[in-house]
Structure 1
Amino acid sequence: MTDKIIEKIVELDTPIQRGKEIITQVLLRKPQSGSLRGTRLQALMDMDVNAMMVVLPRISVPALQPHEIVEMDPADLLSLSVEVVTFLLPKSALSAFPTA
């Protein structure tokens, strides 16, 4: 039995327009090790924008495109990055976080 969250929906402050579609929320899946290829764990923990631009398209539904991440509201990028970092934390570190 695990208490670890494997998916998280993030509501965007500024929706993304993709053709005729408006994206108002993004579902993030907990990345497996393969999804982290091409990045450094420390860069992800530091919420480095370039590292997030590598990982977010691999774990987001709908899959965010690099140009969408570049043009994203910084508040939304921060919200997504916080969730990515939370996915990477061990259970022992998560137990110190308040639950909603």
Structure 2
Amino acid sequence: MARTKGTANKASSQNENVVTLENPIKRGDTLIETITLIKPNAGTLRGVSLQDVATSDVNALIKVLPRMTYPSLTEHEVVNLELPDMIALAGQVIGFLSPTSVC
């Protein structure tokens, strides 16, 4: 079985946009253990409100995570994520909405 590698529910120290899943996703013969989140642009967030994304509304996350993950997760895979993994991914999504510096 092929593996897509990473480490547990925290952002990797090497790349803060990488989340290691506590419960890897099985896709065919591949086991997805880490997910890289890609910085979203306006198009990535189309169809959802920023407030819903910022408050980690599950329905909003189900829409945007397939658009901003590598490997790209399907909506079905996002719906079936274990809660600790969803929370870890949601934390990364919220991080993208924060300004990088405070004036």
Is TM-score (shorter-chain normalized) higher than 0.5? yes
Structure 2 partner of 1:48: 57
Query: What code does the residue aligned with 1:49 have?
Result: V
The unaligned stretches of length 5 or more in structure 1 are 1-6, 96-100
Given the two structures, how large is their TM-score scaled by the length of structure 1?
A: 0.83
Residues 1:86 and 2:89 aligned together: no
Given the two structures, how large is their TM-score scaled by the length of structure 2?
A: 0.81
Query: What code does the residue aligned with 2:72 have?
Result: A
Aligned residue for 2:72, secondary structure, equals: coil
Aligned residues: percent identity?
Answer: 42
RMSD between aligned residues: 1.5
Aligned residue for 1:16, secondary structure, equals: strand
The unaligned stretches of length 5 or more in structure 2 are 1-15
Higher helix share: 1
Distance 1:33 1:61 in 2: 18
Structure 2 partner of 1:98: none
Structure 2 partner of 1:12: 21
2:83 to 66, 74, 78: 74
